[in-house]
Amino acid sequence: MNNRPTTQWAVQPAAWFKFDPDGVVYCADIETAYRVAGQLMEREGDQMIWKMTSGEPIRWVRVYADEQVSGVVVTDQELSHLK
C-alpha cells in the first residue's frame, strides 16, 4: 500500500539536507509552501521547499533566512510557470 501523501509541495529546514517524509510540512500549493517556510524560518533558519513527484521528491527552492517571504513575493505569472 502506498502511504505517500497526495500533496504537491513539502517544506523542511534546509539544514536537514535529506528529505524526511515524517518531518516535513506538506502543502497543497506553492503559495502555502512559501507561507509555511516564512513562518518556520524564524526559529529553524533557511527552509527547503520540495516538489513532490510520483518518484523521489525534488529540491525545488531554498528560502533563505534573510529573505522577506510574503504573498507578494511570488507573482501570478511566476506561479503559472510552477504548475
Work out the number of other CB atoms within 10 angstroms of the CB of residue 23. 10
Q: pLDDT by residue (tens digit) across 37-69?
A: 989 988 899 999 999 999 999 999 999 877 665
Confidence of residue 1 (pLDDT cuts 50, 70, 90): very low
Helix (H, G, I), strand (E, B) or coil at 41: helix
Tell me if 61 sits within 8 A of 79, measured CB to CB. Answer: no
pLDDT at 72: 44
Output the nine-digit C-alpha cell for 22. 515524517
Q: How far apart are the first and last CA of the chain?
A: 27
